[in-house]
Amino acid sequence: MFKGSIVALITPMDLKGNLCKKSLKNLIEYHILNKTTAIVSVGTTGESATLTPQEHTDIILYTVEIANQRIPIIAGTGSNSTSESIYLTKKFENSGVKACLSVTPYYNRPTQEGLYQHFKSITENTTLPQILYNVPLRTGCDLLPKTIIRLSKFENIIGLKDATGDLTRVQKILFSVKKNFLLISGDDITALDFIKLGGHGVISVTANIAAKEIAKICQLALKGKYIKAYKENKKLLPLHKILFQETNPIPIKSAAQYLKLITTDNLRLPLTKLTHIMRLQLISILKKINLKKNNI
């Protein structure tokens, strides 16, 4: 269910900064059509940090409603407060959500034991499958392999999204966790190498606008057809890179709006729109790789 191309879905907003339901529906239909494996709703790319708790919940439930069991939905439920993470996770039990993505607590910088106890408390308070999410660049703390291995022993901790870009960790973790533990890249630039080393897929930002292409690359890689996969991925490398030249999700929203997947590229402060010079560079790359515009 959670192998291959999983999209870290953007949260489309209207001119007033509220959820644009029309654009969200369009995005979901786009991913179903182009064989994305699953959708992460309201993760980092979905601007979880600036949504109210009610908005956070409502957007995920609305995503589940639109998807209507046609594609699995993974709910972003991480927080720097263990009690809040538990509260959010329990909100989605019996909702149709298939799993939760739980980021390491940000800002308060817990020790490895603190991280272990945080995720242990969450998993002991829910039956929903949990995917750990490690992104030290954003959170200020690093979930180390030894702690991941400890946590993998819990039945409903089913995998890890690793956005460190550190490929040396893949097999170190893979050979020490339970058989069906999922290792999913959270870094588009190194995702193909990650899969080749034994990973199971990617939670992708690029897939927001190149769903068909990322799905194809993952399918080829998971079948061991690496020469073809690398050939396809080479075309997207400039796009992978420029999408992180300014803070995610600023560039990806600009690209999605240009390709008419969403109506506006609005974000919540303190994030601001892509600079004019960077937008011109982004549009140039989109034209070179011939990504087609969509119709809402």
Catalytic residues, by residue number, are: 133, 161
Distance from C-alpha of 129 to C-alpha of 157, rounded to nearest angstrom: 6
Element (H, E) at 30: helix 21-33
Query: Are the CB atoms for 1 and 37 separated by under 8 Å?
Result: yes
Distance from C-alpha of 44 to C-alpha of 112, rounded to nearest angstrom: 22
Q: What are the C-alpha distances in Å from 176 to residues 68, 132, 181?
A: 36, 16, 10
Q: Is 45 annotated for ligand binding? A: yes
Query: Are the CB atoms for 73 and 64 separated by under 8 Å?
Result: yes
Element (H, E) at 40: strand 38-41
**Tokens encoding 12:** 């489309």
| Binding-site residues from annotation | 45, 203
Annotated binding residues for pyruvate: 45, 203
